[in-house]
Amino acid sequence: MILDLIRMDKIEEIQPTGVAVCQPGARLGALENEARKKGWELRCYPSTIVKASAGGFLGGGSGGIGSVAHGGLRDFGTVRAIEVVTMEAEPRILKHQGKAVHEILHAWGTNGIITRIWLALTPAIDWSQCAVAFNNFDAAFDFSEHIATGEEWIKRLVTTFEWPIPSFFTPVKQYAPEGKSLVFFLIATEQLGALESAAKDAGGEVTYSGSYQGLRTRPLLSDYTWNHTTLWAMKSDEAYTYLQCSFDPDTVREQLRRLKEHFGKEILFHMEFMKNGTGRVIPGAIPVVYFTTEERLNEMIDFCRGLGVYVANPHVNNVEGGGRYREDNVQLLAKQRYDPKGLLNPGKMITFHREAATTGAKNS
């Protein structure tokens, strides 16, 4: 049985304090547009913002555009509260606030049905878009890291692509010179001129620069970032897939060198800068990977981890293997309390055992 919440799409309130209250079927794009009318905007959102729902993002997402400034969904109290309905003999409606939201975040709907969400917003900024090409990936990465980590820069997106990834972006090919690495920015309009000057001083070529007028802007550079990058690669060749990684900011260049030395064009670097829970901006990555065999893919994952590169494997169908399962097991403990018979997405949380949960429920 499929429970479809798409008609639970009401945006209930944009609070004066900068918190959006909405139902799980609310489209993130509609929420962004409504928030901006009140002087606010989303802290972070996926590249699929136009179609993605708020509940889907909390259930399976982690970050996106805006994460370079505000971190992901887990960070800095971005998710203020989540209301869920339990799957018990006598269902309860529970509001999780503060740290308790982590029981539900990124649990794939396995431990409760999300019915209402409180999302922290951030003051809206007048943004501009910019694309900068560099002769090689090292130069592109150096410049993007400089902007991403520089506290003086007001940014919402810093994305770096190794060639030939830019060649996959057919609608914006005119901004992707042959053979060059590319960086996409969402930067505060007041800093656009300074960014262009800094890019030229660093040896970059500004191939596009323009105002951002919301999600209907054309071109919309965010449509080629985060996991949209993977989709464009797959349009070029169905053998392409991806991994989800984060690199050590202190040794990232050596890690990248070793990966390229070992795998060559089997791995194409696509870097997304994001702020982690400590407040440090780190080089995340959603590298485009050319798939040949499962064994080779697993070899690549093991090699990454051997270098100290964190990998969340997207090629698994359980919460634990997907990379956002919490080590303190709060998602599992919530499943045991709220869905003791294992009726929600059965088999998707492999550490859950129905018998143990049922026994615990009877004894409590």
Average pLDDT, the chain: 95
Residues of the chain with CATH 3.40.462.40: 127-312
- pLDDT tens readout for residues 154-206: 999 999 999 999 999 999 999 999 999 999 999 999 999 999 999 999 999 99
State the Cα–Cα distance between residues 340 and 355, nearest whole angstrom: 8
CATH code 3.30.465.10 region(s) in the chain: 11-123
pLDDT of residue 359: 61
CA-closest candidate to residue 44, choices 21, 60, 28, 20: 28
pTM of the entire predicted model:
0.94
The CATH architecture one would assign to domain 127-312 is 3-Layer(aba) Sandwich (3.40)
pLDDT digits (tens, 9 = 90+) for 279-337: 999 999 999 999 999 999 999 999 999 999 999 999 988 888 876 677 788 999 999 99
* Of 196, 183, 184, the residue nearest 139 (C-alpha): 183
288-319 residues labelled b (16+ CB within 10 A) or e (exposed): bbbbeeeeebeebbebbeebebebbeeeeebb
Q: Report, as an integer, the average pLDDT of 212-233.
A: 96
Please report which confidence band the pLDDT of residue 358 belongs to, taking 50, 70 and 90 as the band edges.
low
Average pLDDT of span 349-363:
70
pLDDT at 364: 45
Q: Which tens digits make up the pLDDT trace of 39-66?
A: 999 999 999 999 999 999 999 999 999 9
Domain 11-123 belongs in CATH node 3.30.465.10: yes
